[in-house]
Structures are given as structure tokens and as C-alpha cells.
């Protein structure tokens, strides 16, 4: 993929969108960790904590990019991403009651960084897949999306709650990214190159299957007597 070609910009948009879709939990962690601090200190805690989390996220994604070059790990990464796409629709959400508010600036920063690192596996795998193993795309995508997460997370969460179809669009993008990763597994490329129609059919079936399974799970949770459905955030 050539730098700044139409394909590059499309992939960058894909990376940013995926990171935003999966960033709701991270925004909650930031808010919970800094909630007890004085407003003047909160801004610094959020800025420093997010900066540290961003550096860890970049390093982790670079490691995943390298790992995806190992035989069969593209297949494993794609399967994990299918599960993440399903959970995006089906997950009931977590209350994050175990996230403690920081009593000082650096305690809050540490909480944000550690919690983000622990929760960031889905983002790392998804971004690595969407970036098509392109390091520049990874770094640019994270540099664009992380400030949006920090300053616009509340707005984005409200947008998702108001327009639930955004979540389904996110699941479609993740399903496509996952199935595309699998078809690009080095050991499987010859098969899909020889049968391009099967590659398209596989991508369509996986993407549709993720959305259908997630929708069924979401619908069953909304039935009377089912578990309470929480908005994804």
C-alpha cells in the first residue's frame, strides 16, 4: 500500500473508526480514575494518563504487527477479532466498579495507564488487522483517535446510544477486517488467490454471521425476563 494513496486514506479511516467504536470502556476508565481529583488536576491526569496509555498502545500494536508475520497467527488474530466483533454487539457491558478513583495526580495516571493496558487487547488486535500490517497507519490512526477519545468520548458515547446502528456498522467493519485477515494468512493465500469467489463468499458469510449472532444475543437479552441490556459505552 502506497503512502497517502486512496487505499491508504481508506485504511486510515477504518483504523480510526474501529478505535473509536472500541474506545467506550477506555473513556469510562479515564473518567472513573480522575473523578476525585480537583478539576485543575483532572485535566493533567487525563492528559498524562492518556499519553502513557497511547505509548503503550503503540508499542503493543507494533509487537502484534510483528507477531502477525509468524505463520498461522493472522488466522488466530482474525478468529480473535471475530469474537471481539460479536462481543461488541452481544456484551451486556461492565460497570467497572473495580476501577478506583485516584487520590493524587500520579495515582490516577497510573490507574489510567494500567487499566487501559489491561483492556486494550481488542483495540490492538483490531487496529493491527485494519492497518494491514502498516506501521505508519497504526501510529497515525492512534494519534488521531486518542485525542478524540479524551476530549470527545462523552459525545461519541451519546451518539452511539442515540443511533444504535453505529454499533452494527462497527461490527460489520470488524467482521470484514477479521475475515480479510484470515484470507491474508500466508498459508491460505494460495487457496484464496486460486478461488477469488470463495474469498468474497467467506468474507460475506463471516461478516453476516457476526452481525446475525450478535443481533440474536442482543434481542434475547432484551426480552422480558432476560438480562438487562446496558448501552455499550
- Only one residue has cell 480473535, namely 80
- The confidence score (pLDDT) of residue 233 equals 37
pLDDT in tens, 25-76: 666 667 667 766 777 777 788 788 878 888 888 888 888 888 888 888 889 8
The answer to the question of residue 72 being in a domain is yes
Whether 13 and 135 have beta carbons less than 8 Å apart is answered as no
Average pLDDT in the chain: 78
Q: Residue 28: its pLDDT value, please?
A: 65
Per-residue pLDDT of 127-137, as tens digits, reads 888 887 788 88
pLDDT at 111 over 70: yes
Q: Pick the closest to residue 157 from 112, 72, 93, 217 (CA basis).
A: 93
In this structure, is residue 200 part of a structural domain? yes
Q: Is residue 38 a part of any domain in this protein?
A: yes
pTM recorded for the entire structure: 0.74
Q: Are 1 and 133 spatial neighbours (Cβ–Cβ below 8 Å)?
A: no
Q: Which domain holds residue 50?
A: 10-222
Task: List, for residues 184-217, the tens digit of each pLDDT value.
Answer: 898 899 999 999 999 999 999 999 999 999 888 8
- Does residue 230 form part of some domain? no
How many helices (H) and strands (E) the chain has is answered by: 10, 0
Task: Please check whether residue 2 lies inside any domain of the structure.
Answer: no
10 or 95: which leads in pLDDT? 10
The answer to whether residue 58 is domain-embedded is yes
Residue 163: is its pLDDT beyond 60? yes
List alpha helices for 22-104, DSSP H.
24-33, 39-67, 73-90
Does residue 186 sit within a domain? yes
Question: Any idea what the Cα angle at residue 34 is, between residues 60 and 105, rounded to 5°?
Answer: 85
Cell 468474507: give the residue.
203
Residue 231 lies in a domain: no
Structural domain count, the chain: 1
Select from 121, 221, 173 the least CA-distant residue to 11: 173
Amino acid at each position: 500500500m502506497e503512502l497517502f494513496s486512496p487505499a491508504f486514506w481508506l485504511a486510515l479511516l477504518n483504523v480510526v473508526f474501529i478505535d473509536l467504536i472500541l474506545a467506550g470502556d477506555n473513556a469510562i476508565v479515564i473518567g472513573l480514575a480522575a473523578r476525585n481529583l480537583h478539576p485543575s488536576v483532572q485535566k493533567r491526569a487525563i492528559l498524562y494518563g492518556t499519553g502513557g496509555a497511547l505509548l503503550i498502545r503503540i508499542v503493543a500494536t507494533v509487537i502484534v504487527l510483528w507477531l502477525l508475520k509468524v505463520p498461522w497467527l493472522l488466522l488466530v488474530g482474525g478468529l480473535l477479532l471475530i469474537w471481539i466483533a460479536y462481543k461488541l454487539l452481544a456484551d451486556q457491558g461492565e460497570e467497572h466498579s473495580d476501577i478506583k478513583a485516584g487520590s493524587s495526580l500520579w495515582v490516577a495516571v497510573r490507574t489510567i495507564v494500567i487499566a487501559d493496558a489491561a483492556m486494550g487487547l481488542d483495540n490492538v488486535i483490531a487496529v493491527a488487522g485494519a492497518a494491514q500490517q502498516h506501521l505508519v497507519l497504526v501510529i497515525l490512526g492512534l494519534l488521531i483517535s486518542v485525542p478524540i477519545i479524551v476530549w470527545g468520548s462523552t459525545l461519541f458515547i451519546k451518539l452511539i446510544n442515540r443511533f444504535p446502528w453505529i454499533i452494527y456498522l462497527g461490527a460489520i467493519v470488524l467482521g470484514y477486517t477479521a475475515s480479510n485477515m484470515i484470507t491474508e494468512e500466508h498459508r491460505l493465500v494460495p487457496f484464496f488467490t486460486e478461488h477469488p469467489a470463495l474469498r468474497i463468499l467467506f468474507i460475506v458469510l463471516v461478516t453476516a454471521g457476526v452481525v446475525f449472532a450478535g443481533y440474536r444475543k442482543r434481542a434475547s437479552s432484551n426480552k422480558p425476563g432476560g438480562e438487562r441490556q446496558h448501552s455499550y459505552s
